[in-house]
Amino acid sequence: MPPKPKITKDMVIDAAFEVARETGAENINARTVAKRLQCSTQPIMYHFATIEELKKAVYAKADFYHSEYLMNIESPHEGVMLGIGLNYIRFAIEEPHLFRFLFQSNFFTGTTLLEMIDAEELAPVLLAMQGAVGGSIDQVKEIFITIFLFAHGYASIIANNSLEYDEELIKSHLERAYRGSVLAVQEEMKCKINK
């Protein structure tokens, strides 16, 4: 009789990720993951002492997946910020369970908005925005925060099934919010220069 294939830690994380993706992270448990892997619960508990540890590993995988999704911009010529904003909202539509896990669960802790803005993964986006807008990196961060909060509001409403997705309308709102935040930062710069 051939030996049973070994269940690796990555296999457990991948299976739990699929559970979170399809039915929500609240459904990650030893039985649901074992069922997906077609094994007993023993390999799950061998690799993870608690389900909480497994959920943290799945959260990290979901966060990486989300970052990759955001940076896959369809029309970069229309603007990096607009592309990221639209992808953020699309993610909430296409992956509502992961969106809620990432941004509306107790796992989204330990990071402030300012820490998130200072993450090195965001540096290329901020530098591209700085090239387009001008001004200091701190001013670009202010613009980014405005757009992020705007896009997050739309995405949260959509992920919770309260709003239909109208891409053209959302795109026009994102563009308006972007232009408004750029103008606000430019106005602040003028006021500081004139003082």
In tens digits, the chain (195 residues) has pLDDT values of: 555 669 999 999 999 999 999 999 999 999 999 999 999 999 999 999 999 999 999 999 998 899 888 878 776 656 777 888 888 999 999 999 999 999 888 876 656 777 778 877 677 777 777 776 777 888 888 888 888 889 999 899 888 877 778 889 988 999 999 889 888 888 887 777 777
Query: Cβ distance 178 to 194 under 8 Å?
Result: no
pLDDT for 98 equals: 96
Distance (Å, whole) CA 67 – CA 95: 13
Spatial CB neighbours of 163, under 8 Å, sequence gap ≥ 6: 154, 157
Amino acid at the residue 10: D
Q: Where are the alpha helices (DSSP H) in the chain?
A: 9-23, 30-37, 42-47, 51-71, 80-94, 96-103, 113-117, 123-133, 137-159, 167-194
**Nearest to residue 125, comparing CAs of 140, 103, 115, 112?**
140
Amino acid at the residue 81: M
pLDDT for 52 equals: 96
Spatial CB neighbours of 86, under 8 Å, sequence gap ≥ 6: 151, 167, 170, 171, 174
Tokens of 153: 């509001």
pLDDT for 5 equals: 64
Spatial CB neighbours of 136, under 8 Å, sequence gap ≥ 6: 130
Is the model's pTM score more than 0.85? no
Query: Cβ distance 163 to 154 under 8 Å?
Result: yes
pLDDT for 90 equals: 92
pLDDT for 78 equals: 62
With b for 16 or more beta-carbon neighbours within 10 A and e for fewer, the 95-127 pattern comes to: bbbbbbbbbeeebeeeeeeeeebeeeebeebbe
pLDDT for 77 equals: 55
